[in-house]
Amino acid sequence: MSLNPELRRRLQGAIKNFWNTRETQALKQGAKSGSKDAGARSAVTGGAQMNGFIDLVRDLLCESGLPKAHVYCEKYVELPGWYRPEKKWDLLIVSDGKLLAAIEFKSQVGSFGNNYNNRTEEAIGSASDIWAAYREGAFKPSARPWLGYLILLEEAPGSMSPVRAREPHFKVFPEFKDATYARRYEILLTKLVRERLYDAACFLMSNEADGAKGRYSEPAPELSFRNFVESLLARVIAVAKSR
């Protein structure tokens, strides 16, 4: 099922904000230094591109009855880990000393070959770390928190073209054969959710020209923004009503 018109409009606003922020940061970087960083780094180094999505999710939580003071998305977003002292998350929900949810918001524009593996390792590592910490009682008296992952991938020839997997010793799993980077991300997020490393994941795609107008696509229904938000809100509202 599709988003209602109002929520779609707000998601389109987050898409626009992403591309506009990248452009503004790239221009500012070039103006200050006299020369832009190589490739898209001038936009990446400024950060804040995903703030539109973070703000949207925070607003939806608060509109559903969660006090704003329980949502952390700028400061106090560190959580203890098991394999490292702490990790910063993009959005946390902590209510009455209990961890309700933690969410990562990521993007990838260009450099698909270099960054895909990094994003994969980050997503798996962050989930493994927090669940180990939870197992060891780091968040007592919290019940199992809700974990989410949202990523926006640039729709471009580099992300939409088949990629040959290297198999010098053993064969890769069949689903990865000639899979594009977009398809690889879809496989990754689907497996992360089905293995319960994350409770929900959202996979969005957009390009600079159309994205500036708020246009985007959702390659996999299972990884839609609607499913992501409904899962999160259902968990938070259920906890709130139990108190």
| pLDDT band (50, 70, 90) for residue 13 | very high
Q: Which of 219, 29, 30, 18 is nearest to 106 (CA)?
A: 18
Mean pLDDT along residues 218-233: 96
Domain boundaries, the chain: 5-241
User: In a 3-state reduction of DSSP, which class is residue 37?
Assistant: coil
Buried b (16+ CB within 10 A) or exposed e, 192-229: bbeeebbbbbbbbbbbeeebbebebebbbeebbbbbbb
The pLDDT tens digits of the residues spanning 113-159 come to 889 999 999 999 999 999 999 999 999 999 999 999 999 999 999 99
What pTM, to 2 d.p., does this model score?
A: 0.89
